[in-house]
């Protein structure tokens, strides 16, 4: 096994359905192949989107997956629900036809260039914000356009006072359309015009789940001030109607496996179909899938286009799994033996010594609140994850018991369960990442309390090609862009206390790494420091990412904000 794994997040499986902090299959398969043989059982008690199950399937292993996430089970189960491509395409087209007939030509528009009927690709919407000086409503997009696209020069179009995005949101207005028309080989952009047909909301239904005020992402996003207090508020009326018609058409499909797979494609488009897809003058910035943010200028995409592309993506994912499961041969592939159940990691419903290997990626403390972010998809699944069951640490105290102490207890119990169910010769690989030394020390304590060796047998650095995770912490933390993969065994002997490294020892080690690494970044240096500290039995409590960045800033180096690489200040 190598000590560093670098993977791309672009294979057909990864691209078929988004899920927060998803681990690519290519990062898991080397560990499964190293620590198991074909036919063995792989366990993942924090299964998330089920990538461990896919990795087990393509390597000829069996998998038992558990999580408290309703959306995770939906995604992970359908990843290995392999549907015949022709049937999937046929049923997907039928669903599109049925939904389109029901809502009408709601994405039909008149082309401004030739006056013919055209199809909308996306609409740019702008928030109308209240001027704090004159109280008039200001179209943010128009004010930005009037300021020559400079946010620093933005002013109220009524009174000329300085103006910015933090003003109170009064309304939203469409400003631009991107269309497809036979008169042009490329998309055309034109001023917004009314669609040729409007849907009748009275004939359609959709979920509109309230977002509780004690949810961490509600607090972080000022939803009450902006009127975004339920899941339906994050979608345009048109897209809600289309999504409702699509969902109804999918539920009418008779074959259970195809219906489930089409619902998989449906939930995969929900983030992009919402108002959380931020506009940029240069190019779309992608959807904010890690927070509740609706930018002052955002896109409304053609839902039919999104669904059609996701059906194709689901077909490609199935084909990729079939090919890899059968060594590249096109036929003769068995159905994957992957079972995904809703259960807590601290009460795994398996017998003692019943699995051969554990690969798992637990939540990283306060980095992500999965039940909050999954609510947008789970609303359409008619079942939601219980926030109280999550192994997370609240950033804001709302009276809920989701503290660091509770998180540690849950992690200890989960690791004890892993030790209980894994065979005596089995291994446990734990993927973990955090920018806080306190969280790493918490992990060290958890390993010891769970009866696992505090010094891992193998420590690998995982690079998912993710330079920045701005948005994952929503401004609360500096989050490392790399993770450590710790392969553990049950403890055989007692061990002494952790060592506290002298500050100069830590600084000298980081500066030595800086001199040797040809492409250093703060995250790379930090993970190398943690890796060294784990092997040396150090107490990691004071080894924060901020300590590394502060050390770098005190020396003759700077960090390039585009590449995140450490550069000499003379460059």
* DSSP assignment string, 3-14: SEEE--S-SHHH
Largest CA distance in the chain: 80
Length of the chain: 571
| Poorest-pLDDT segment among 78-82, 182-186, 347-351, 564-568 | 564-568
pLDDT band at 225 (very low <50, low <70, confident <90, very high): confident
- The residue with greater pLDDT, 50 or 391, is 50
Separation CA 425–CA 27 (nearest Å): 22
- The residue with greater pLDDT, 240 or 455, is 240
**Residue 36's pLDDT is what?**
97
- The answer to whether 249 and 92 are in contact (CB under 8 A) is no
Give, in order, the Cα–Cα distances in Å from 309 to each of 50, 95, 314. Answer: 22, 13, 9
Q: Where are the beta strands (DSSP E) in 183-337?
A: 188-191, 297-301
* Helix H or strand E encompassing 445: helix 437-449
Separation CA 544–CA 524 (nearest Å): 13
Give, in order, the Cα–Cα distances in Å from 212 to each of 166, 217, 425, 555. Answer: 23, 10, 46, 46
Separation CA 479–CA 461 (nearest Å): 15
Residue closest to 206 by CA, chosen among 227, 235, 176: 235
**Residue 496's pLDDT is what?**
72
**Residue 529's pLDDT is what?**
94
**Residue 309's pLDDT is what?**
98
**Residue 249's pLDDT is what?**
98
Residue 46: partners with Cβ closer than 8 Å, 6 or more residues away:
66, 67, 345, 360, 361, 362, 363, 391, 414
Q: Which of the residue ranges 103-112, 449-458, 463-472 has the most confident prediction, judged by mean pLDDT?
A: 103-112
Taking the CB of residue 387, how many other CB atoms lie within 10 A of it?
A: 20
- The answer to whether 273 and 243 are in contact (CB under 8 A) is yes
**Residue 476's pLDDT is what?**
30
Mean pLDDT for 186-198 is 96
Summarize pLDDT for 70-115 with one digit per residue, the tens: 999 999 999 999 999 999 999 999 999 999 999 999 999 999 999 9
Mean pLDDT for 363-389 is 89
Separation CA 158–CA 425 (nearest Å): 74
- The answer to whether 175 and 192 are in contact (CB under 8 A) is yes
Q: Which of the residue ranges 5-9, 349-353, 547-551 has the most confident prediction, judged by mean pLDDT?
A: 349-353
Residue 550: partners with Cβ closer than 8 Å, 6 or more residues away:
none
**Residue 552's pLDDT is what?**
87
Helices (H), 36-118: 51-58, 70-79, 85-103
Residue 189: partners with Cβ closer than 8 Å, 6 or more residues away:
176, 177, 178, 179
Q: Does residue 477 surpass a pLDDT of 50?
A: no
Separation CA 111–CA 188 (nearest Å): 9
Q: Where are the beta strands (DSSP E) in 28-182?
A: 41-44, 62-67, 108-110, 117-130, 137-139, 169-180
Local structure of residue 493 (DSSP, 8 states): S
- The residue with greater pLDDT, 97 or 363, is 97
Report the b/e string of 287-304 with b at 16+ CB within 10 A.
Answer: bbbbbbbbbbbbbbbbbb
Q: Does residue 131 surpass a pLDDT of 60?
A: yes
Give, in order, the Cα–Cα distances in Å from 541 to each of 29, 51, 441, 505. Answer: 32, 31, 5, 15
**Residue 138's pLDDT is what?**
97
Burial class (CB in 10 A: 0-12, 13-18, 19+), 53: buried
Separation CA 65–CA 49 (nearest Å): 10
Give, in order, the Cα–Cα distances in Å from 320 to each of 22, 109, 266. Answer: 18, 38, 20
Mean pLDDT for 453-468 is 77
* 230 three-class SS: strand
- Does this model's pTM top 0.75? yes
Give, in order, the Cα–Cα distances in Å from 95 to each of 304, 311, 416, 549. Answer: 10, 11, 47, 52
Separation CA 412–CA 81 (nearest Å): 33
Separation CA 155–CA 151 (nearest Å): 9
**Residue 291's pLDDT is what?**
81
Separation CA 433–CA 360 (nearest Å): 12
Tell me, rounded to whole angstroms, the distance of Cα 104 from its chain centroid: 33
Local structure of residue 389 (DSSP, 8 states): G
- The answer to whether 334 and 322 are in contact (CB under 8 A) is no
Q: Does residue 525 surpass a pLDDT of 50?
A: yes
Tell me, rounded to whole angstroms, the distance of Cα 119 from its chain centroid: 31
* 488 three-class SS: strand
pLDDT band at 404 (very low <50, low <70, confident <90, very high): confident
According to DSSP, the residues that pair with 237 across neighbouring strands are none
Q: Does residue 68 surpass a pLDDT of 70?
A: yes
Task: Report how many helices (DSSP H) and strands (DSSP E) the chain contains, helices first.
Answer: 17, 16
Separation CA 313–CA 120 (nearest Å): 22
Tell me, rounded to whole angstroms, the distance of Cα 137 from its chain centroid: 35
Q: Does residue 538 surpass a pLDDT of 60?
A: yes
Local structure of residue 498 (DSSP, 8 states): P
Residue 101: partners with Cβ closer than 8 Å, 6 or more residues away:
none
Q: Does residue 468 surpass a pLDDT of 70?
A: no
């Amino acid at each position: 096994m190598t000590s560093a794994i670098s993977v791309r997040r672009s294979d057909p499986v990864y691209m078929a359905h988004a899920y927060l902090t998803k681990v690519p299959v290519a990062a898991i398969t080397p560990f499964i192949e190293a620590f198991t043989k074909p036919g063995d059982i792989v366990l993942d008690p924090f299964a998330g989107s089920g990538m461990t199950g896919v990795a087990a399937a393509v390597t000829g292993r069996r998998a038992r997956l558990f999580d408290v996430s309703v959306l995770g089970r939906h995604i992970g189960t359908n990843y290995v629900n392999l549907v015949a491509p022709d049937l999937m395409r046929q049923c997907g087209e039928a669903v599109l036809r049925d939904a389109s007939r029901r809502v009408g030509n709601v994405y039909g528009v008149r082309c401004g260039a030739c006056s013919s009927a055209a199809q909308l690709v996306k609409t740019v919407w702008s928030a109308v914000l209240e001027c704090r000086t004159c109280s008039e409503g200001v179209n943010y997009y128009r004010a930005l356009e009037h300021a020559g696209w400079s946010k620093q020069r933005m002013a109220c179009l009524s009174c000329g006072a300085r103006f910015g995005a933090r003003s109170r949101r009064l309304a939203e207005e469409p400003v631009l359309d991107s269309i497809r028309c036979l008169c042009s080989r490329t998309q055309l952009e034109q001023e917004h015009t009314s669609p040729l047909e409007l849907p009748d909301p009275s004939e359609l239904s959709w979920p509109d789940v309230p977002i509780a005020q004690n949810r961490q992402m509600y607090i972080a996003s000022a939803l009450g001030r902006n009127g975004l207090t339920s899941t339906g508020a994050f979608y345009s009326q048109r897209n809600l109607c289309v999504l409702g018609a699509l969902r109804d058409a999918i539920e009418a499909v008779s074959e259970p496996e195809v219906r489930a797979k089409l619902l998989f494609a449906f939930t995969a488009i929900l983030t992009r179909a919402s108002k959380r897809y931020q506009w940029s003058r240069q190019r779309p910035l992608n959807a904010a899938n890690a927070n509740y943010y609706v930018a002052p200028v955002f896109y409304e995409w053609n839902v039919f286009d999104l669904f059609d592309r996701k059906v194709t993506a689901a077909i490609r994912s199935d084909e990729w799994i079939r090919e890899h499961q059968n060594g590249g041969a096109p036929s003769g592939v068995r159905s994957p033996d992957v079972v995904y159940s809703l259960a807590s990691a601290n009460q795994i419903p398996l017998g003692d010594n019943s699995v051969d290997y554990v690969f798992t990626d637990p939540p990283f403390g306060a980095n992500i609140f999965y039940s909050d972010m999954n609510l947008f998809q789970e609303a359409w699944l008619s079942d939601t994850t219980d926030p109280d069951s999550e192994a997370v640490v609240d950033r804001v105290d709302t009276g809920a018991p989701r503290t660091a102490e509770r998180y540690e207890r849950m992690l200890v119990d989960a690791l004890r369960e892993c030790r209980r169910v894994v065979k005596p010769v089995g291994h446990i690989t734990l993927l973990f990442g955090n920018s806080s030394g306190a969280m790493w020390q918490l992990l060290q304590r958890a390993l010891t309390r769970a009866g696992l060796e505090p010094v891992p047998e193998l420590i690998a650095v995982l690079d998912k090609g993710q330079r920045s995770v701005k948005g994952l912490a929503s401004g609360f933390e500096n989050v490392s862009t790399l993770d450590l993969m710790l392969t553990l065994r049950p403890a055989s002997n007692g061990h002494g206390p952790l060592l506290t490294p002298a500050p100069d020892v830590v600084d000298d080690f980081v500066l030595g790494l800086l001199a040797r690494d040809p492409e250093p970044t703060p995250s790379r240096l930090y993970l190398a420091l943690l890796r060294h500290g784990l092997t040396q039995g150090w107490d990691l409590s004071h080894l924060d990412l901020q300590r590394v960045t502060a050390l770098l800033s005190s020396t003759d180096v700077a960090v390039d904000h585009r590449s995140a690489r450490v550069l000499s200040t003379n460059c």
